[in-house]
Amino acid sequence: MAIAVASSWFNALASTGTSRYTVSSQRLFSSPQISATRLVVPKAASKSPNPKRRALKEHARKASPQKEANIEKLSRRSRDERPYSNADDHGDVQNAEQPQSTAFKSFGTQRKNAKGFMGNLKDQQAETAKIQDATFLNAVVKVYCTHTAPDYSLPWQKQRQYTSTGSAFMIGDGKLLTNAHCVEHNTQVKVKRRGDDTKYVAKVLAKGMECDIALLSVENENFWKGAEPLQFGHLPRLQDPVTVVGYPLGGDTISVTKGVVSRIEVTSYAHGSGELLGIQIDAAINPGNSGGPAFNDQGECIGVAFQVYRSDDVENIGYVIPTTVVSHFLDDYERNGKYTGFPSLGILLQKLENPALRACLKVPSNEGVLVRRVEPTSGASNVLKEGDVIVSFDGVEVGSEGTVPFRSTERIAFRYLISQKFTGDIAELGIIRSGAFMKVHTAMNPRVHLVPYYIEGGQPSYLIVAGLVFTPLSEPLIDEECEDSIGLKLLTKARYSMARFKGEQIVILSQVLANEVNIGYEDMSNEQVLKFNGTRIKNIHHLAHLIDSCNDRYLVFEFEDNYLAVLEREASSAASPCILKDYGIPSERSSDLLEPYVDPVGENEVLEHHDLGDSPVANSDFGFDGLQWA
């Protein structure tokens, strides 16, 4: 099966149609998936570390051994990254193509064969000089970012700013590519070219959090004088040589490490929430390498360095975002003027490896995956049902292990085909329903998360009512508060519940600012509010709307386990300004809650309330125990 792979962003001579990217056909392949101990985004250490938050992170890890055993959601702040040793501390370019045992043997016997050793040394020096003179190194720049992250526990303010460094590279048309985590929560971004002492201000045009890619621009023409942007190459093959270039810790000048391609498969992206195609390499990737390019032997960029596999049992396992993912990001930005995301079918799948299971479902051959659950917010909810068996996607047959053909002789996870689609595209699914084969069509849209992995706009929403602080539950808030303080019940909902409609949120009472008007409620924290005056709450904007339009004497908040918090409405209104002044809070609500409220599902539509169902939906279902999201 021929799959299109992106080539160059800026090769205008070869571009056709509406897209500016050149595309060439290649057959793709992969090998079976493994589960990681910990995926870590290797950013540079912050110049303003926060020991308290680092201690909180370590405490969270100790308190959750199950999460430690799976792919860990890594910290979004470079200050939480501890520095670790560079594989090239001695300054030589390491040739990872040579087996380690051979390298040690050559070093140990150099006195017996001094002539041979000197010959090898000359070859290494010549290779190093060749790399130093390579023009593609001049397209790699150093990124200086100042971050000011929101304080999710105190959502009306920001955290103390910190700085970090990373890498980026030129792709032409006045633009640079880097990792999204390098410029997350940025207040200032500057870049500096190799051999230059001037830093230029850069603007962030788009950030793809789930694919960990960001697009930058530099308006100053002096920055681009003599610049030669990089050309994108094709997806590499196993054991192809790869060179990673960037500005990691350990020095101020550019760094080059070498290795080979070890594996190509669908990989968990530690900074985001999904799984996309990734290239595993054995070249060293250290804090500061993030956003730097990886090259093949022809000097073509084959991807972007972005994360490492950290474990006591393995060494030198790094990951590169391939050009297929990069091209999807750039095409998405060019089509829509912004990043809209990678689409999802919004279904939970089960493998059909067992013959009895296939026979029960009337599947005649060793093919297909079982639709175990369909998200109400997905486009597939109108065409797919629980119990359907998906046997093909856009004409490509789906195997009973949830894999599809990839290149010539290998297979890859079914999710890969889905990730090649764009938001709004239509996919054709071949399904077996009650033994009958049929074809259905569904629109592709990004997955709707009940508990988001990142906050649109950066600043979280909040509402303060007589000292009661309400805010939506989010993954950054869970990370900041630590799992122990959030509580098992909220964590279970965050991991296992699905959104019933777009815009639904889990609204929690995060804390109570003590005052006479709320006496007796001071110890409440991180409790989900379910109803206000008998009306079920859809999101925090809905809660603000209900309170603003309330004329009753009492404000009645209903929480889990029928716990009540009741306030006298007029007394609450009178006390609120004093509470805000005492605690130095500028406003009783975030700016987004000042906008008119729009009901996400309609005033007359009644939503059936579901407690936690018997079909849990967790991050651990992504490709484990026969279950996977698509």
Catalytic residue numbers, as ranges = 181, 212, 290
Q: Other CB atoms closer than 10 Å to residue 141's CB: what's the count?
A: 30
In this structure, which amino acid lies at residue 455? I
Please state whether beta strands 564-568 and 627-629 pair in parallel, antiparallel, or not at all (unpaired). Answer: unpaired
Alpha-carbon gap, residue 443 to 420, rounded angstroms? 14
Alpha-carbon gap, residue 213 to 220, rounded angstroms? 22
**What is the maximum alpha-carbon separation in the chain?**
95
**Letter string b/e over residues 199-216, b meaning 16 or more CB atoms within 10 A of that residue's CB:** bbebebebbbbbbbbbbb
Q: Other CB atoms closer than 10 Å to residue 138's CB: what's the count?
A: 18
Mapped onto helix, strand or coil, the DSSP state of residue 382 is helix
Burial class of residue 619 in the structure, from the number of CB atoms within 10 Å of its CB (0-12 exposed, 13-18 middle, 19+ buried) = middle
Structure tokens at 307: 């994360």
Residue 516 phi/psi, 5° resolution?
A: -60, -35
Closest by CA to 464, choosing from 518, 533, 503, is 518
Element containing residue 116 per DSSP (H, E)? helix 114-133
Alpha-carbon gap, residue 349 to 615, rounded angstroms? 12
Alpha-carbon gap, residue 281 to 320, rounded angstroms? 7
Alpha-carbon gap, residue 305 to 41, rounded angstroms? 10
**Cα dist. 88→257, 258, 301, 555 in Å?**
7, 10, 22, 64
Mapped onto helix, strand or coil, the DSSP state of residue 568 is strand
**Letter string b/e over residues 230-250, b meaning 16 or more CB atoms within 10 A of that residue's CB:** bbbbbbbeeebbbbbbbbbbb
**Cα dist. 266→193, 293, 404, 629 in Å?**
33, 20, 12, 12
DSSP 479-499: HHH-HHHH-HHHHHHHHH---
Q: Are 601 and 607 in contact (CB under 8 A)?
A: yes
Alpha-carbon gap, residue 453 to 475, rounded angstroms? 5
**Cα dist. 76→30, 67, 164, 167, 179 in Å?**
29, 17, 12, 17, 12
Q: Other CB atoms closer than 10 Å to residue 390's CB: what's the count?
A: 25
**Cα dist. 550→476, 505, 545, 546 in Å?**
32, 21, 9, 6
Q: Are 529 and 566 in contact (CB under 8 A)?
A: no
Closest by CA to 615, choosing from 446, 370, 401, is 370
